[in-house]
């Protein structure tokens, strides 16, 4: 009888642990609440003036205005890798911006931040097309 209780208790405990694990709840050692996934914010700019100096100017502006916002985990900005020409490569952009934020709330604050707004105001005249790809990442 003791063995049956032990097996039942163990099975119940296993179910509880599995539910917590698969529902994304933090372990007891972390501060409460559900796990917040990071947000990858990827922006691809196609410019009206597609010259090298225009591309360099936008990359510099990205670094000046968009790097170092609260909650930033990763920042990178650069030009299209023109030597990568596989069939799957998308090559209809000039400058790429990649920022990973700790939380969606950090990304939301970034969107309305004065430095971000200034970046848009000072640079959007040369944007032919802007595509934004946001995703949750781990």
**Displacement of CA 28 from its chain's centroid (Å):** 27
pLDDT for the residue 67? 98
Q: Are residues 4 and 52 in the same domain?
A: no
Question: What is the C-alpha to C-alpha distance for residues 22 and 89, in angstroms, rounded to an integer?
Answer: 35
pLDDT at 22: 41
Judged by phi (left if over 0) then psi (alpha if -120 to 50, else beta), residue 33 lies in left
pLDDT, one tens digit per residue, over 14-41 is 433 333 344 443 333 334 556 789 999 9
Say if residue 24 is in the same domain as residue 55: no
Coil/strand/helix, residue 118: helix
The range of the structural domain enclosing residue 98 comes to 38-137
Do 5 and 53 lie in one domain? The reply is no
The enclosing domain of 56 has a CATH number of 3.30.70.100
Structural domains in the chain (count)? 2
- In this structure, are 114 and 74 located in the same domain? yes
The C-alpha atoms of residue 39 and residue 73 are separated, in whole angstroms, by 10
**What is the pTM (predicted TM-score) of this model?**
0.75
Residue range 63-114, pLDDT digits in tens: 999 999 999 999 999 999 999 989 999 999 999 999 999 999 999 999 999 9
Same domain, 43 and 95: yes
């Amino acid at each position: 009888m003791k063995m049956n209780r032990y097996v039942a208790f163990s099975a119940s405990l296993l179910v509880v642990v599995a539910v917590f694990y698969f529902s994304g709840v933090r372990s007891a050692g972390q501060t409460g609440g559900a796990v917040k996934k990071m947000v990858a914010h990827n922006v691809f700019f196609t410019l009206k003036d597609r010259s090298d100096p225009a591309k360099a100017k936008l990359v510099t502006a990205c670094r000046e205005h968009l790097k170092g916002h609260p909650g930033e985990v990763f920042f990178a900005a650069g030009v299209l890798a023109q030597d990568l020409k596989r069939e799957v490569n998308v090559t209809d952009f000039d400058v790429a911006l990649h920022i990973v934020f700790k939380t969606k709330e950090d990304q939301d604050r970034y969107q309305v931040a004065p430095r971000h707004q200034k970046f848009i105001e000072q640079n959007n005249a040369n944007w032919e097309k802007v595509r934004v790809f946001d995703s949750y990442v781990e």
